[in-house]
Chains A and B, each alone.
Chain A
Amino acid sequence: AQSVAQPEDQVNVAEGNPLTVKCTYSVSGNPYLFWYVQYPNRGLQFLLKYITGDNLVKGSYGFEAEFNKSQTSFHLKKPSALVSDSALYFCAVRPTYGGSQGNLIFGKGTKLSVKP
């Protein structure tokens, strides 16, 4: 079965330190990869995506993500965390063929907590 794994339920970081939120996937072919953020009592907001090309993609609010095809990973990163980055982060994958083609498959989410 196709799946997305976010191995950490929660990541704690001090403000100003770099952060990484991990994502690996088990999806055939060359899927499209996305990161979304959810603030309390809000919908999901798009952060960034990988389609093709450079393995390091840059997105909103200073976030970036590194795609690694051999490890089937798409880790979210930020060089210097802010308290306002505290939120729930979802990795999502859109398969390009097969029964789930076109639909987003989400990880379970990682809660990021940035302390002053």
Chain B
Amino acid sequence: NAGVTQTPKFQVLKTGQSMTLQCAQDMNHEYMSWYRQDPGMGLRLIHYSVGAGITDQGEVPNGYNVSRSTTEDFPLRLLSAAPSQTSVYFCASSYATRGTGGGTEAFFGQGTRLTVV
């Protein structure tokens, strides 16, 4: 059982380049999300999805796109990278997040360290 898998682990981009961060989970979780972690800022929610075909914006969505065509995959796209997007990105999944399932914990991937020069 792999859990949440993120690829790549490291990436360097030039300003203006595009790329996709991959995230896959094998736990049949409905809820998936993307966070960015910056020093002294904690984790901030970028986008999330409560199921296949449903996505919504989080706290810091600008410059990022997502889609959820399957339950397993939730890729994060940077359309035109900027130095301000240099960060560590984490994907997470949960069995549920609302109602009686709201108390279930989230599982995190190992992270992608992105540098934009």
Spell out A's residues near B (CB within 8 Å): 4, 9, 32, 34, 36, 41-46, 49, 51, 90, 94, 96, 101-109
Q: Does B41 contact A (CB under 8 A)?
A: yes
Beta-carbon nearest neighbor of B35 in chain A: A106
Residues of B within 8 Å of A106, CB to CB, are 35, 42-44
> Known: A43-B90, A43-B108, A108-B40. Is A102-B102 also a contact (CB below 8 A)?
yes
Within residues 22 to 40 of chain B, which ones have a CB less than 8 A from any CB in chain A? 31, 33, 35, 40
Q: In the complex, are the beta carbons of B42 and A108 less than 8 A apart?
A: yes
What CA separation (Å) do A103 and B48 show in the bound complex? Answer: 8
Spell out B's residues near A (CB within 8 Å): 4, 31, 33, 35, 40-45, 48, 50, 58, 90, 92, 97-98, 102-103, 105-111
Residues of B within 8 Å of A51, CB to CB, are 103
Q: In the complex, are the beta carbons of B98 and A102 less than 8 A apart?
A: yes
Q: How far is the CB of B66 from chain A (nearest CB, A)?
A: 14
With beta carbons under 8 angstroms apart, the residue of A44, A101, A104 that contacts B45 is A104
Beta-carbon nearest neighbor of A35 in chain B: B105
What CA separation (Å) do A42 and B93 show in the bound complex? Answer: 16
Residues of A within 8 Å of B97, CB to CB, are 94, 101-103
Residues of B within 8 Å of A41, CB to CB, are 111
Residues of A within 8 Å of B109, CB to CB, are 43
20 residue pairs A–B, Cβ–Cβ below 8 Å: A32-B102, A36-B108, A42-B111, A43-B109, A43-B111, A44-B92, A44-B108, A45-B108, A46-B105, A49-B105, A51-B103, A90-B43, A94-B97, A102-B50, A103-B48, A104-B43, A104-B92, A104-B106, A106-B35, A106-B44
